[in-house]
């Protein structure tokens, strides 16, 4: 493929009918009907769109049949040339497309992209007095880890509100200045006033008014992380105790409100359990038959492809693949529910692939089983 510019906002005049006809003729003359990825490049060398298909020729020719108001026609009008690369399989094409989009960020893919933005994630912000933030998609690279993905942003927002209240974490603007109790003051100043009511009603520890130390606040943030990681249920237990106590005092309205809060937090926990199960299920060796015998084996750990090799054909190649699998699967790794930002899209892609094609899971083999059988899949 020729050297090309990354996406830019520069205006490109629409391609002429002659250019569009030339692109179509080029596809007709050269393109084969097999899996692959393609790129549309504008006259000034900007890659405007990246796509994939299990039949590249058919897919590319379909662009030229689109009605003018359709997305495909718009893409073609932005392009002056098309180039493509074949991949061994549809799965390989999906991965290649994802990686190209992440690398090049083509303008039209970014505008049309929906995938990860359907989901909500919880991120823990950096800086003093970290806070939990519910975000759509995972495009902000400033955070180390996200928790999620979760369905239903509104429900996740409500659950995070309960978690903040239960643990006394702040939810004010990120740029609000914090003053911890153990933070030395350069000048003596009048007593501070809290930035909102949450401190007065004991829903926030009050790091804005020096009502807690760095360590006290940090302990609560660690509890929130532990809850999101699934290793600490104390926010649920505290709400449950409070609900029972209210009920015993015959404060039924309060008990009902606590029951709803509990339900929201439990909903978050259930989603977490399902998600964690999905991550942990997606750890195996995945052999994929390729076009013309170009078979591959993907080493998938916790929903991400960690390595890819041609399918072994000899005992020596099998041994080599098993040694690589030992490195991939035995490497020490934090096994919580958090996912590094840059890997979320790949995790979503793999989970959706195996949801769409559950029969594919039957061809996978767990690392431990592969070892025992000396790699049945090859
Ligand atoms: S009490 Fe202070 S730190 Fe807590 S949420 Fe309100 S403004 Fe933020």
Q: Would you say the CB of residue 170 lies under 6 angstroms from ligand 1?
A: yes
Distances in Å between the alpha carbon of 104 and those of 11, 110, 184, 322? Answer: 17, 10, 47, 34
d(CA 352, CA 146) in angstroms, rounded, equals 19
- By residue count, the chain amounts to 378
pLDDT digits (tens, 9 = 90+) for 77-125: 999 999 999 999 999 999 999 999 888 889 888 765 545 556 788 888 8
What percent of the chain shows pLDDT beyond 70?
A: 85
Q: Are 79 and 13 in contact (CB under 8 A)?
A: no
If one counts every other C-beta atom within 10 angstroms of the C-beta of residue 174, the result is: 12
At residue 6 the predicted structure's pLDDT band, cuts being 50, 70 and 90, is very low
Taking residues 167-172, report their average pLDDT: 94
Going from the Cα of 192 to the center of ligand 1, the distance in angstroms, rounded, reads: 12
Beta strands in the chain (DSSP E): 36-41, 47-53, 81-86, 120-124, 132-136, 145-150, 284-288, 296-301, 304-310, 338-340
Q: Would you say the CB of residue 311 lies under 6 angstroms from ligand 1?
A: no
At residue 38 the predicted structure's pLDDT band, cuts being 50, 70 and 90, is very high
At residue 15 the predicted structure's pLDDT band, cuts being 50, 70 and 90, is confident
- Measured in Å, how far apart are the chain's first and last C-alpha atoms? 32
Using the predicted structure, report yes or no on whether residue 46 has a pLDDT greater than 80: yes
Q: Ligand 1 atom closest to Cα of 171?
A: 5
d(CA 33, CA 86) in angstroms, rounded, equals 9
Beta strands in 91-198 (DSSP E): 120-124, 132-136, 145-150
pLDDT of residue 156: 86
In the chain, CATH 3.40.1440.10 sits at 17-113
Using the predicted structure, report yes or no on whether residue 16 has a pLDDT greater than 50: yes
d(CA 72, CA 79) in angstroms, rounded, equals 11
Going from the Cα of 178 to the center of ligand 1, the distance in angstroms, rounded, reads: 9
Least confident of 25-34, 166-175, 206-215, 233-242: 233-242
pLDDT digits (tens, 9 = 90+) for 289-330: 999 999 999 999 988 899 999 999 998 998 899 999 999 998
pLDDT of residue 340: 65
Q: Are 242 and 258 in contact (CB under 8 A)?
A: yes
The pTM assigned to this predicted structure is 0.68
Using the predicted structure, report yes or no on whether residue 55 has a pLDDT greater than 60: yes
Q: Which listed CATH number (3.40.1440.10, 3.30.930.10, 3.40.190.10, 3.30.70.580) goes with 17-113?
A: 3.40.1440.10
Ligand 1 pocket test, pick from 183, 196, 210 with the greatest ligand atom count within 8 Å of Cβ, gives 196
Please provide the average confidence, as pLDDT, over all residues in the chain.
Answer: 84
Going from the Cα of 156 to the center of ligand 1, the distance in angstroms, rounded, reads: 21
Closest C-alpha residue for ligand 1 atom 7: 195
Taking residues 29-54, report their average pLDDT: 94
């Amino acid at each position: 493929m020729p050297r090309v510019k990354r996406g830019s906002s520069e205006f490109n005049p629409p391609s002429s009918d002659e250019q569009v006809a030339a692109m179509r003729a080029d596809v007709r003359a050269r393109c084969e009907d097999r899996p692959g990825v393609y790129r549309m490049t504008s006259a000034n060398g900007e890659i405007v769109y990246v796509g994939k298909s299990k039949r590249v020729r058919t897919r590319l020719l379909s662009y030229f049949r689109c009605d003018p108001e359709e997305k495909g026609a718009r893409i073609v009008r932005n392009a002056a040339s098309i180039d493509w690369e074949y991949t061994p399989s549809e799965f390989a094409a999906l991965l290649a497309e994802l990686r190209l989009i992440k690398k090049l960020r083509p303008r039209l893919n970014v505008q049309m992209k929906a995938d990860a933005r359907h989901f909500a994630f919880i991120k823990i912000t950096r800086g003093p007095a970290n806070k939990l933030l519910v975000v759509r998609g995972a495009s902000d690279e400033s955070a180390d880890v996200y928790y999620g993905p979760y369905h239903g942003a509104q429900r996740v927002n409500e659950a995070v509100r309960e978690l903040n209240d239960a643990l006394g974490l702040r939810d004010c603007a990120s740029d609000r200045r914090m003053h911890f109790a153990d933070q030395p003051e350069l000048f003596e100043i009048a007593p501070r006033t809290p930035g909102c009511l949450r401190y007065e009603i004991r829903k926030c520890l009050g790091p804005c008014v020096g009502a807690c130390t760095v360590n006290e606040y940090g302990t609560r943030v660690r509890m929130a992380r532990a809850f999101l990681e699934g290793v600490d249920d104390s926010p649920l237990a505290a709400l449950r105790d409070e609900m029972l106590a209210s009920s015993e005092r015959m404060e039924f309205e309060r008990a009902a409100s606590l029951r709803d809060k509990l339900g929201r937090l439990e909903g978050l926990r259930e989603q977490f359990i399902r998600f964690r199960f999905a991550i942990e299920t997606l750890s195996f060796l995945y052999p994929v038959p390729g076009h013309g015998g170009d078979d591959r084996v993907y080493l998938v750990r916790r929903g991400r492809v960690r390595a890819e090799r041609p399918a072994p054909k000899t005992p020596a190649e099998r041994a080599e693949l098993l040694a690589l699998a030992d490195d991939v699967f035995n490497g020490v790794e934090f096994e919580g529910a958090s996912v590094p930002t840059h890997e979320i899209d790949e995790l979503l892609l793999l989970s959706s692939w195996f949801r769409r094609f559950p029969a594919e899971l039957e061809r996978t083999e767990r690392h431990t089983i592969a070892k025992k059988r000396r790699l049945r899949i090859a």
